[in-house]
Copies of this chain bind each other. A is one copy, B any other.
Amino acid sequence: MNTAPVKSFDDSTNVRVAEANNPSSSVVHFPDSEPLRLACDQLLAPISIAYQTYGELNADKSNAILICHTLTGDQYVASVHPMTKKPGWWETLVGPGKPIDTDRFFVICPNILGSCMGSTGPASIDPKTGRPYALNFPVVTIGDMVNAQVRLIDHLGIDQLFCILGGSMGGMQVLEWASSHTERAYSAVPIATAAWHSPQNIAFHEVGRQAVMADPDWCAGDYHLHQKVPRNGLAVARMAAHITYLSEEALHHRFGRSLQRGSELTFSFNADFQVESYLRHQGSTFVDRFDANSYLYITRAMDYFDLEAEHGDVLANAFRGTKTRFLVVSFTSDWLYPTRESREIVRALNAVAANVSFVEIETDSGHDSFLLDEPEFFATVRGFLNAAGVKRGLST
């Protein structure tokens, strides 16, 4: 594969392009002879799924937990990110002695199909052309991502996952698993998510996509070929999205109307307010680690997600006959996936007499709460996994 550094890219871009094709993590390759049939009816092959594992799989392979990551997440859930060198994105929850205790459980976290950290996506080199797929990559769905994960779990020889767990878009994957592959999930924990993407969320995604595509350096998706990066467009997209991850209360407490430089307005378009400086930082650091086309494809997959429509407009039909044990979690100040959308999931599960717990965590930290230090959330997950573990006959 041709992954030689592209000349005029800066170092972070070269590292990013390399990670998309030769990830630092484990990776499993499925050859041309094992194509994946996508929702759009195309066949995709070959396919790579990059993943990280933590802990040890027990003898009867009954202690595996699959963690599904978010829109801009990755497989480095509890280990250092190879580009940013920052700790894993969910080390609050996952690790030795943590609520998802890697001394006890075997944790698997795959990079999703369409992403850019080693699983096949638009930044991957298409072996048929020797160039990145870019917009020749097919539009994939949450269902496609999950079907690719099924391949990985088969490859690892695991019949049934003890738990499938994820927040935000990770929660969509959890719901898709629990609907389409319920026999593979002993338990499932969808967090801060919804069974279908709301029009407001589609609208925010569309703003982000238009920002990326408006950037001349996007080059109709072929920015790698032109040795460019649509930095400005992707940064604006990230800034808009980032606002939706926080609550108004969180912004008040964290920044309020505090100024950057003492207490003087500059009467300019500089970042006078701390919240402006913070957002600009979020935008620019994101561009260093994430692929712009992946951002387009993954937001699209989220927009398309509608478990209700796929089941005759009756969400309960998605879960009929399920034996999976569910824990549904929402956060009071999450306005991206508000509690009422979790309640819809719970109502559907109740309608098919599923085993379901529901917890709404009181917090003012917004959608991102599930990634933050939320003791009640940690205790809830720990308690659920312990109880389910006892039922499953796992040693404590």
Closest B residue, CB atoms, query A283: B210
What are 9 sample pairs from A and B whose C-beta atoms fall under 8 A apart? A138-B267, A196-B257, A200-B243, A202-B275, A203-B275, A206-B273, A207-B243, A210-B280, A257-B306
Q: Report the interface size for chain A: residues with CB under 8 A from the other chain.
A: 53
Chain B residue contacts of A251, Cβ below 8 A: 198-200, 203
Chain B residue contacts of A108, Cβ below 8 A: none
Q: Are A243 and B196 in contact (CB under 8 A)?
A: no
Which one, A65-73, A74-82, A233-241, A345-353, is touching chain B? A233-241
Known contacts A199-B255, A257-B309, A269-B300; 12 further A-B pairs (Cβ under 8 A): A138-B267, A139-B269, A197-B257, A199-B256, A200-B248, A204-B240, A206-B239, A206-B279, A206-B280, A207-B243, A265-B304, A272-B303
Beyond A210-B280, A267-B138, whether A303 also contacts B273 by CB under 8 A is yes
Assess whether A28 is interfacial by the CB under 8 Å rule.
no
Assess whether A209 is interfacial by the CB under 8 Å rule.
yes
Choose from B252, B268, B279 the contact partner of A139 (Cβ within 8 Å).
B268
Chain B residue contacts of A240, Cβ below 8 A: 204, 207, 240
Instruction: Produce 1/0 per residue, A210-243, CB < 8 A to B.
Output: 1101111000000000000000110110011001
Chain B residue contacts of A252, Cβ below 8 A: 198-199
Q: Are B204 and A243 in contact (CB under 8 A)?
A: yes
Choose from B198, B216, B256, B279 the contact partner of A248 (Cβ within 8 Å).
B198
Number of copies: 2
Q: Give the complex CA separation of A271 and B283 in angstroms.
A: 25
Q: Are A214 and B199 in contact (CB under 8 A)?
A: no
Assess whether A40 is interfacial by the CB under 8 Å rule.
yes
Q: Are B257 and A202 in contact (CB under 8 A)?
A: yes
Chain B residue contacts of A215, Cβ below 8 A: 214
Chain B residue contacts of A256, Cβ below 8 A: 199
Chain B residue contacts of A265, Cβ below 8 A: 304
Chain B residue contacts of A211, Cβ below 8 A: 211, 214, 236
Q: Which 3 A-B pairs have the closest CB atoms?
A: A214-B232, A40-B267, A139-B267
Q: Is chain A's interface secondary structure helix, strand, loop, or mixed overall?
A: helix
Chain B residue contacts of A232, Cβ below 8 A: 210, 214
Closest B residue, CB atoms, query A213: B269
B-facing residues in A244-293 (Cβ within 8 Å)? 248, 251-252, 255-257, 265, 267-269, 271-273, 275-276, 279-280, 283
Q: Give the complex CA separation of A384 and B357 in angstroms.
A: 51
Q: Give the complex CA separation of A28 and B268 in angstroms.
A: 28
Q: Are B269 and A209 in contact (CB under 8 A)?
A: yes
Assess whether A296 is interfacial by the CB under 8 Å rule.
yes
Q: Give the complex CA separation of A93 and B304 in angstroms.
A: 40
Q: Are B236 and A203 in contact (CB under 8 A)?
A: no
Closest B residue, CB atoms, query A266: B139
Chain B residue contacts of A216, Cβ below 8 A: 216
Q: Which of A138, A240, A271 is packed against the most chain B CB atoms within 10 Å? A: A240
Closest B residue, CB atoms, query A297: B269
Q: Are A235 and B210 in contact (CB under 8 A)?
A: yes
* Cβ of A135 to closest chain B Cβ, rounded Å: 8
